Every structure is written in structure tokens, then in C-alpha cells.
Amino acid sequence: MPAQPVIGVLALQGDVREHLVSLAECDVIARPVRRPEELAEVDGIVLPGGESTTMSRLLETFELLEPLRKRLADGLPAYGSCAGMILLAGTVVDGRPDQQQLAAVDMVVRRNAFGRQVDSFESELTVTGVDGGPVHAVFIRAPWVESVGDGVEVLARVPDIPASGAAAGRIVAVRQGSVLATAFHPELTGDERVHRLFVETVRAA
């Protein structure tokens, strides 16, 4: 791998630009990925927030679904935020019947668990592997993780306090091998620490 890893951002739909900006702050080469040949050139991939069913359909339309599944199975490091977390899950509750899963993380995710877009939620999270104090997490129509398999490390939960409501204690960040997923959107807050955690994973791989 070169001194500067090349990290792609799946650029079919969602907050692609924000992830590219965050990655650019992490001393890597960040590129949008829309075609299989672009996917073949990256050392890691980010699946952005957006609308998971739309992204699933576009993965098929752009003939990226199977190449991405294969690269993930071969160990490509990946990071998914919000909709990206849903795509990476093995099982989705409240998803569409025709929704395609990448099944890179052994977890059950509940789609839109935090409610409608107007019901966005913010919280301060302690995230394992992220130094420098709590992460200010923004959730927008976000999923949460209902359960994880034995090989999955839980990195963060919503604080189990009354102010968290139904989200109290829910799992919102996980890692399995070189795949990282968060229910929240670090790309929207200007805090690159979660992206740096992913970059460290890419460098280690």
C-alpha cells in the first residue's frame, strides 16, 4: 500500500461530499466510486449516509453490488454511516423485501429506528478506539443495532439515561474485523476522529 492509502466513497447517493472532505483531513487520497473499475483501485471504501433502499437499487444498476460483495469478502476495509451501516448488516428489520444486503457485519439492524427525519436525535457518545473525549453524534432517521454475532465488537451505545428515550442503551457503533459501522453521521459534525479510526484500520490492513 502507498504511503497515502486510497479510500473510496460510494458516490451513488447520499452525503458523499462530506465524507470526501472528512477523509481529506486524514492524510489519505479520497475518491468517489461509481464504477467497478474505480472500486478495484481503492484500499478501503466508505458507504455514506443517505437512503439505504435507493443505494441498494443503485448498486445493482451500476453493477457494483457483486464486485463490492466480493471485495468485502476478500477483506476490503469498509466504513458505513447510517444507511451505510444498514447496507453492511447481515439482517435488516423494517427493510424492503427487495433490499440487497452486503452482509459484511454479523448484526441485525432496525431501519429508521430513531423515527422520521424531523425526529433527529443528538447525543454525546463514548466510542471505543476514539480518544479525546465524547463524540457528538447526530442521528437522522437512523438505524440502531438490535443484536450482534460473537465476532462483532460493540464500540458505542446511546447513554442509558431518561433523556435518551427509546434509544437508551442501544448499540450505535460496531466493528467486525476491518469493517466499521456507525448509526450516526460523523461526516456532518466536522469531527474527523471516527474517520481517523477507519483510516488506521485501512493502514493496518
Binding-site positions for L-glutamine read: 50-52, 111, 140-141
Mark out the alpha helices in the chain (DSSP H runs).
16-24, 36-39, 52-61, 65-73, 83-88, 193-204
Return binding residues.
Answer: 50-52, 111, 140-141
Of the candidates 65, 23, 74, 75, the residue with the CA atom closest to the CA atom of residue 46: 23
Rounded Cα distance, 105 and 156, in Å: 15
Active site residues per annotation: 82, 185, 187
Rounded Cα distance, 178 and 48, in Å: 17
